[in-house]
Structure 1
Amino acid sequence: MSATTSRRSLLALALSAPLVGTALAACGDSGPAGSSGSGGGGGGAATIWILTGQPAEGIRTDSVNAFNKANPDSKLTVSTYQNDAFKTKIRTAIGANQSPTIIWTWGGGGLRDYVKNGQVEDLTSFFADNAALKDKLFASAFGAATVDDKIYAVPCENVSPIVMFYNKKLFQQVGAELPTTWDDVMALVPKFNAAGIAPFSLGGQSRWTNMMWLEFLYDRIGGSELFDSIYQGKPDAWSHPDSITALTKVQDLVKAKGFINGFASITADSNADQALLYSGKAAMMLHGAWTYSSMKSDGGDFVTGGNLAWSSFPTVTGGKGDPTDTVGNPSSYYALSSKASDEAKTAAKKFLAEGLVTDATVKAWVESGAVPIVNGSDSEFSGSDDADWLKFIYDTASGAKVFQQSWDQALSPTQAETLLDNIEKLFGLAITPEEFAKNMNATLAG
């Protein structure tokens, strides 16, 4: 899966991208999606819609085919859609009570809306009956699947935390050590600037890339409770002193010229930010784990030659956050339509319990260069050229006490768009931290 596909499918297109037309880019559509046989509002066989894009599409399709072969009386009909088309189609289908039986969701705010409108099943009892499945999955992946202490989706597939990347050659060039604290980060900024090297690469035009800095600073300074109070809609939560401190530190970094000149016009979808790191124009980059594979394929010997280093986000002196906490994409999720027929629900639950997370799918995700959200999947890493990297991601995700879902997914679509707009202004120094907090507090009403 490319860096762009991973990010777009798991974050940006989930909530903040504009709606497109209803034309469906269905690749190998196996059934009349949205028809009375969809397993949504009417009866009929169970259905599942999945996203296109290899290698993920192949892994998803193979898992359904294997299940159907083993369960000829409980088959699922699968349809495939590109990201934009799916996003439009699923909203229309759910609104008309014609959704697929198994609903792909990114969890967080979108899932919360489904729950509020009674469109998805409470799967808490499902997991009580399938405790072995729950125990198999990373505990940190369930946060984005949980609403009001009840589980409404099955975590699945792979994990992508946000990682701090470093160009080791540039660190050697200026005689610097990798940072472990925020003070270290700020001390490195003038050192790299003096050498004519941008301290950090950033594709700021994409906005969600800027957001990653706030996600980590809020956690490291205020602990996971800080964003949780925002997620729960606590009045004036964005104005908490720890929030203002985090917002101020971001602007301190901008004012110190911590990011490459012109970062606001650089896009992440073009992978231009990654190129700045591996080409030696920037020393550091905060980005998703999905960028590793594209840097490996596009960056010459940058990765294979041992010039890439990585770590978790640095600690902040005096902060309340747990250094094991991480942010990003805890997993993908499948919910169950509450409007499906009993027959379809039974088949779907059987697939979710037995066909979604298998030895074959775990092996396939690892071979694709991804880390499955399955405890013990690290046993598949031996012999891989990327074993150290995969182990780091596995340990980060499985060991995180809190794996905060990216904010533009965790919040409602309306809140997410306001957030991204204000983050752009914050990084552009067009608003103060206090103005940012005031603007975001307005989204908490109701």
Structure 2
Amino acid sequence: MRKKTIALTAMALAATAALSACGDNSSNGNTAAPSGSSGSAASAEKVKLSIWHNFSGDDLRAKAVRAQIDKFKEAHPEIELDAQAIPPDGYRQRLKTVAAAGEMPDVFFTQSGTSIQEFYDGGLIQPITPLLDKYPEWKNNFMEGALDRLSFDGQVYATPLSGSATSLFFYNKSLFDKYQVKVPTTWEELMAAVKTFNDNGITPISLGNKAAWLAQSSILSSLADRVTGTDWFLKASSQDGAKFTDPEFVQALQLFKDLSDAKAFQTGANSLDNTQMEQYFIEGKAAMMIDGSWALTNMAATGTQEQLDQVEVTVLPSVPGGKGDPNSISGGAGGGLALSKEATGAKLDAALELIYAVSGPEGMQAIVNSNSVVNYNVEPDASIVTPLFYKAFDLFKSVKLTPVYDAYLTSAAADVINNGLQDLLLGGKPEDIAQKLQDAQAQALSQ
């Protein structure tokens, strides 16, 4: 299979070559030196280990991940741990910058799919398969398919810290009851609900698309699959038997535009961020919200009990004549902790211990108890999680998962569709955006 070529790959390989030219006397960079071979003075020195992640917020999942890192640091005084929590909006670009310079952190969080593949294609990461083999009970408890988009050539390069359900359909049952609106299961019912809420001065669907990825990940990924079916998307993303200019995909973009034209979203949705969108919904200012499973931990951290009791969760409505499974949610495995290719010897051992401390069974239990969906067979503590999370987690486990667009598209194509959906909200044409997406994906794969 031809690997995707990206800008960071060439730069990172050049940087790696430059580092190699400086001299490496080891015949195998992944093999630790024999115990005591460095001498007593060297062995007394602390192992320096760095970890970067984007769990920087006040949501419960971020706190749970940071707590696991802190516990590891406290339990290992022999390790000098440099842990950096970087805000999500600038995190991916910062990783690309250090990758281009060949200066990756030892352990770092990366999303599954396209994101981790960029680092794999660049020769910047090494597998953690030996860690999984060391703990078979941990390895065997991941849900079916959880490791697929984090694996290459039969090797696992990260395990998911959370499950990714990107298109949960939240609704405020009090508002639906007050205005006698049927919870929509079809597109026609959804458009009718939009009209009724607009007529009564209620924003139908809360949307915060400032960072551009939200509309793509949470709405289009699921909506388009309803229209085209999953097989079509996989063919289009690989440019093998389908194109993004095909009528079915243009239809999906048109349905998104129809929502916008019907004033389904609040004014200025492109200038509101994800947090503002969720707050707008939980405060009862919008009747519906299409968001990812991360909203569960965010709302649990900020919403009152009364507010949370008004929220129900289901799947996006079906579309007329759609080829996709209507009982589905876009999602899959979330991101995980990847391991730098440069980690060797004692640093490699420490890095693997850190990954297990955060991603192992104890970490999975802490994350699910933070009201976060996980791709791991673990039961949430009912005395800790919210009833809404319990419902959503059960839903996640009972429906089909369909692809999230930016987990399969090239980085260039993902940027195009993200920006294109912002344009649609401002009156852009579906055909134009479809053509730009097709051109970007085809060009990226041909390089």
Q: Is the 8 A contact 1:204 1:266 kept in 2?
A: yes
Q: 1:238 Cα deviation (Å)?
A: 0.9
Q: 1:337 Cα deviation (Å)?
A: 1.8
Which residue number corresponds to residue 303 of structure 1?
307
| CA–CA separation in structure 1 for the residues paired with 2:204 and 2:144 | 35
Which runs of structure 2 are paired with 1:339-354 in the superposition (5 Å)?
339-352=342-355, 354=356
Say yes or no: does 1:181 pair with 2:220.
no
Which residue number corresponds to residue 250 of structure 1?
256
Say yes or no: does 1:241 pair with 2:262.
no
SS at match of 2:358: coil
Q: What amino acid maps onto 2:68 in structure 1?
A: S
Q: 1:130 Cα deviation (Å)?
A: 4.7
Say yes or no: does 1:197 pair with 2:199.
no
Which residue number corresponds to residue 335 of structure 2?
332
- Pairing partner for 1:411 from 409, 412, 416: 409
**Cα–Cα, structure 1 residues 415 and 92, in superposed 2: closer, same or farther, change >3 Å?**
same
Say yes or no: does 1:215 pair with 2:259.
no
**Cα–Cα, structure 1 residues 355 and 207, in superposed 2: closer, same or farther, change >3 Å?**
closer
Say yes or no: does 1:49 pair with 2:54.
no
Q: 1:237 Cα deviation (Å)?
A: 2.2
Q: Is the 8 A contact 2:52 2:107 kept in 1?
A: no
Q: What amino acid maps onto 1:418 in structure 2?
A: V
**Cα–Cα, structure 1 residues 315 and 46, in superposed 2: closer, same or farther, change >3 Å?**
farther
Which residue number corresponds to residue 390 of structure 1?
389
Q: 1:217 Cα deviation (Å)?
A: 1.0
Which residue number corresponds to residue 172 of structure 1?
177
Which residue number corresponds to residue 77 of structure 1?
81
| CA–CA separation in structure 2 for the residues paired with 1:244 and 1:251 | 10
Q: What amino acid maps onto 2:195 in structure 1?
A: P
Which runs of structure 2 are paired with 1:144-183 in the superposition (5 Å)?
144-147=149-152, 150-157=155-162, 159=164, 161-183=166-188
State the Cα deviation string for residues 291-338 of structure 1 (Å, max 9, x = none). Answer: 34554565556524x322221222234323234532257323112222
Which residue number corresponds to residue 37 of structure 2?
none
State the Cα deviation string for residues 325-371 of structure 1 (Å, max 9, x = none). Answer: 3225732311222232244334433544x433445434432443333
Over the matched positions of the two proteins, sequence identity in percent amounts to 24
Q: Is the 8 A contact 1:155 1:333 kept in 2?
A: yes
| CA–CA separation in structure 2 for the residues paired with 1:117 and 1:85 | 21
| CA–CA separation in structure 1 for the residues paired with 2:176 and 2:438 | 40
Q: Is the 8 A contact 1:330 1:404 kept in 2?
A: no
Q: Which runs of 4+ in 1 moved over 6 A?
A: 68-73
| CA–CA separation in structure 1 for the residues paired with 2:281 and 2:306 | 9
Which runs of structure 2 are paired with 1:75-154 in the superposition (5 Å)?
77-83=81-87, 87=92, 90-123=95-128, 127=132, 130-147=135-152, 150-154=155-159
Instruction: Extract unaligned runs of 5+ from structure 1.
Output: 1-35
Q: 1:239 Cα deviation (Å)?
A: 1.9
Which residue number corresponds to residue 425 of structure 1?
423
Q: Is the 8 A contact 1:46 1:344 kept in 2?
A: yes
Q: What amino acid maps onto 1:291 in structure 2?
A: A
Which residue number corresponds to residue 402 of structure 1?
401
- Pairing partner for 1:376 from 370, 375, 378: 378
Which residue number corresponds to residue 237 of structure 2?
231
The two structures have a TM-score, normalised by structure 2, of 0.75
The two structures have a TM-score, normalised by structure 1, of 0.76
Q: What amino acid maps onto 1:395 in structure 2?
A: D
**Cα–Cα, structure 1 residues 288 and 157, in superposed 2: closer, same or farther, change >3 Å?**
closer
SS at match of 2:222: helix
**Cα–Cα, structure 1 residues 322 and 53, in superposed 2: closer, same or farther, change >3 Å?**
same
| CA–CA separation in structure 2 for the residues paired with 1:93 and 1:46 | 18
SS at match of 1:79: strand
Q: CA RMSD in A?
A: 3.6
Q: What amino acid maps onto 1:421 in structure 2?
A: N
| CA–CA separation in structure 1 for the residues paired with 2:407 and 2:340 | 20
State the Cα deviation string for residues 193-215 of structure 1 (Å, max 9, x = none). Answer: 33333322222444333222211
**Cα–Cα, structure 1 residues 311 and 340, in superposed 2: closer, same or farther, change >3 Å?**
same
Q: What amino acid maps onto 2:229 in structure 1?
A: G
SS at match of 2:147: helix
Which residue number corresponds to residue 363 of structure 2?
361
- Aligned residues between the structures: 398
